[in-house]
């Protein structure tokens, strides 16, 4: 009967519409997930390729200048990536306390960029009491530590 065919048609169209909506939502989510996966894998591989080493001589007088209240840390890029020398791009802890970027200055000593093999001189404004101290530099998740005494 015609009314039965029309109702079947309506139900068919409704079923198709629901299936298409579900599929559309699913493919949209998967596209977002794949984009995030791509960015995460890039980020992870960069973190693995990043390696920094503190090369400061902790027994020397060059680490802490008590006249100016400055801690100088020499950090060598021992990884595969060229790193940013901007203090905003890495974290510095002094005796466990976070040092804001405006209290640090950085200079690449042997090149224009902090390329693999190059050394970064990091100067931290800090007045320290006599005793043992620890400076930690964290770049792309890689930590380098300097223990020194003043």
Residues found near other proteins in the complex (CB under 8 A): 8, 11-12, 14-16, 18-20, 22-24, 26-27, 30-31, 33-34, 37-38, 40-42, 44-46, 48-49, 51, 53, 55-57, 59-63, 74, 76, 78-80, 109-110, 116-117, 119, 121
Q: 72 and 126 in contact (C-beta within 8 Å)? A: no
Residue 23 or 127 with smaller CB distance to other proteins: 23
User: How far apart are CB 135 and other proteins at their closest, in Å?
Assistant: 14
User: How far apart are CB 50 and other proteins at their closest, in Å?
Assistant: 10
Q: Which residues contact 126 (CB under 8 A, 6 or more apart)?
A: 69, 70, 71, 94, 99, 103
Query: Phi-psi category of 140—alpha, beta or left, where left has phi over 0 and alpha has psi -120 to 50?
Result: left
Q: Which two tokens stand for residue 69?
A: 């209240």
User: How far apart are CB 54 and other proteins at their closest, in Å?
Assistant: 9
């Amino acid at each position: 009967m015609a009314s039965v065919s029309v109702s079947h048609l309506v139900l068919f169209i409704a079923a198709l519409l629901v299936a298409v909506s579900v599929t559309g939502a699913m493919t949209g989510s998967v596209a977002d997930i794949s984009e995030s996966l791509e960015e995460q894998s890039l980020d992870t591989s960069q973190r693995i390729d990043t390696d920094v080493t503190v090369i400061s001589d902790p027994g020397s007088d060059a680490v802490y200048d008590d006249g100016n209240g400055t801690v100088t840390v020499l950090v060598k890029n021992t990884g595969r990536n060229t790193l940013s020398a901007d203090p905003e791009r890495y974290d510095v802890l002094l005796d466990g306390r976070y040092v804001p970027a405006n209290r640090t200055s950085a200079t690449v000593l042997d090149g224009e960029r902090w390329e693999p093999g190059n050394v970064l001189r990091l100067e931290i404004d800090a007045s320290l009491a006599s005793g043992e101290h620890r400076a930690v530099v964290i770049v792309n998740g890689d930590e380098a530590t300097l223990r020194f005494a003043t």
